[in-house]
Structure 1
Amino acid sequence: MGDMDSGIECTLSKFANETKLCGVVDTLEGRDAIQRDMDRLEKWAYVNLMNFYQAKCKVLHLGHGNTRHKYRLGGEWIESSPEEKDLGMLVDEKLNMIWQCALAAQKANCILGCIKRSVASRLREVILPLYSAVIRPHLEYCVQPLESSPQEGHGPVGTSPAEGHEDDQRAGAPLL
């Protein structure tokens, strides 16, 4: 795996069993560089008796006005996708996290329901540690830090609704 990125012009990210090729395509040269790298990766896989599963290969086009070029891996065209899951995060072509946050809130609400049905005690000393250990991580998973958040009214990462801003009770905010 160490020589996989030999000769690659664009950015190649490797993590566990995932490989991602990223590049800026604002010119035809950028498009061609990505295709050359795809061809290099295909040759590398052939030489190393490996293959990239074409069914799992997708192109995610990011940016306003993206021309959505098509790319090949071997003799197959790679399908374009409006969103992809990357290391557990759902990323769409606009880098929007609305769906990710909605899914995290839904999962947290399901867990909260399980706790409500299965834990007889409603004492703060019992519920608060459960909330902190089991529910809160799901909600923090999709929260962006205040300085990078495009929306106003979010408290800093790690604050509960009680510690956050008053605006956190606005319409559309997940309530638990």
Structure 2
Amino acid sequence: MWLVDVTSGVPQGSILGPVLFNAFINCLDVGLDDVLSKFSDDTKLGGIVDLDEGGLESWAITNRMRFNKGKCWVLHLGRGNPGFMYRLGDETLESSPAERDLGVVVDSKLNMSQQCALAARKANHILGCIKHSIASRSREVIVPLYSALVQPHLNYCVHFWALQYKKDIKLLESIQRRTTKMVKGLEGKTYEERVRALGLFSLEKRRLKGDLITVYNFLARGSGEAGDLFSVNTSDRTRRNGVKLRQGKFRLDTRKRFFTDRVVAHWNRLLRDVVAAPSLSEFKRCLDCAVSHMVKTFGLKLDLSSARSWT
């Protein structure tokens, strides 16, 4: 292997750029015991910080690469966090009440209302552009435009920023409600009737369906991380299905919205034939019918009692 000096850089935005950058920062976590997540040019260091804060600065000096300290912030998480001040080299890092990570706004209390408002604002803006620039109000025009341009903003990374408050749920649902009202021929019908006529799910049902599909991928495909996320009861004497998950115990209401907790009750109510589907496509087909009975559209709340009608 020949080693030569590199005298020129790679144009930003090129296909080769991310590959070379990942190779360059591959040794960034050498000697670090904390969790380091590397995604293209977004690198995150997580863990308990002690007084030894010189690891990253030493790496930067060795590799002749400078950190933009003006873009480095500290986000303190957790109850009773003392909010210590940290340094990167000789400069003290400022604290921030909220930060955007890969397009998702996270605040110090893990409250996702800011992210919900941001997603709703973007979706409403695009929906307004569609309404004022497209003359047709037919289903064949409005639904594809909504699915391609508006809905992605409402669904982006939604498994992470699970909605906690009814006002946030209603805010996002109101955007799809407005969209269904735009379609010609559905005047005078209720929201549930309009959604059904257009072949759509309410956003809450879509989120629940996405959660259950994620669980299926973890369990049915034998993901190595499944054991860390879920505790599975595989006893043959379990009712409804043979792959029931154990519900964890917790004291904080915020924990109820965590993915590994909010999905357990719904998964355990699925029929045995659904969870034992031989393929993902078959699981999705069976799941459509099941999800339609698990969430009540009108009240935008969980309706677990209705699950008995199909079990």
TM range (shorter): 0.7 to 0.9
Q: What's 2:140 paired with?
A: 125
**Residue pair 2:76, 2:108 contacting (<8 A) in 1 also:** yes
Higher mean C-alpha deviation, range 7-16 or range 64-73: 7-16
Aligned residues: 155
Residue in structure 2 matching 1:61, options 73, 76, 79 = 76
1:17 aligns with 2:29: no
TM-score with structure 2 setting the length: 0.46
- Residue of structure 1 equivalent to 2:26: 2
The whole-number CA distance in structure 2 between the counterparts of 1:89 and 1:97 is 9
Q: Which residue of 1 aligns with 2:96?
A: 81
Find out whether 1:157 has 2:181 as its counterpart. Answer: no
Identical positions, percent: 52
> What SS class does the counterpart of residue 5 from structure 1 fall into?
coil
SS in 2 for 1:166: coil
Give a deviation string over 1:44-90, Cα, whole Å, max 9, x none.
10010001111011110001110111111110011111111101111
SS of 2:77's partner is coil
Q: What letter is aligned with 1:141?
A: Y
Distance 1:46 1:65, change over 3 A: same
In terms of fraction of residues, the more helix-rich structure is 2
Does 1:167 pair with 2:217? no
Measured in 1, the distance between the counterparts of 2:97 and 2:77 equals: 9
Of 10-19 and 57-66, the range deviating more from structure 2: 10-19
TM-score, with length taken from structure 1: 0.79
Asked if the contact 1:140–1:158 (Cα under 8 Å) also holds between the matched residues in 2, the reply is no
Q: Distance in 2 between matches of 1:16 and 1:118?
A: 37
Matched, 1:134 2:149: yes
Structure with the bigger RCO (C-alpha within 8 Å, sep 6+) is: 1
Contact kept, 8 Å, 1:101 with 1:143, in 2: the verdict is no
CA distance in 2, matches of 1:16, 1:47: 21
Change (3 A) 1:116 1:156: closer
CA apart distance, 1:14: 1.7
Q: C-alpha offsets along residues 69-117 of structure 1, whole Å, 9 cap, x if unaligned?
A: 1111110011111111101111111111111111111111111111111
Cα gap change, 1:167/1:16 in structure 2, threshold over 3 Å: closer, same or farther? Answer: same
Instruction: Return the alpha-carbon distance in structure 1 between the equivalents of residues 106 and 95 of structure 2.
Output: 14
User: 1:13 Cα deviation (Å)?
Assistant: 1.7
Q: 1:59–1:80: 8 Å Cα contact kept in structure 2?
A: yes
Question: Residue deviations 1:99-141, cap 9 Å, x none?
Answer: 1111111111111111111111111111111111111111112
* 3-state SS, counterpart of residue 105 of structure 1: helix
Gaps spanning 5+ residues in structure 2: where? 1-24, 170-203, 210-291, 302-311
CA shift in 2, pair 1:113/1:158, >3 Å: farther
- Larger of the two Rg values belongs to structure: 2
| Cα separation, 2, equivalents of 1:167 and 1:157 | 16
Partner of residue 120 from structure 2, selected from 86, 102, 105: 105
Unaligned 5+ runs, structure 1:
25-30, 170-176
Cα contact 2:112–2:164 (8 A) shared by 1: no
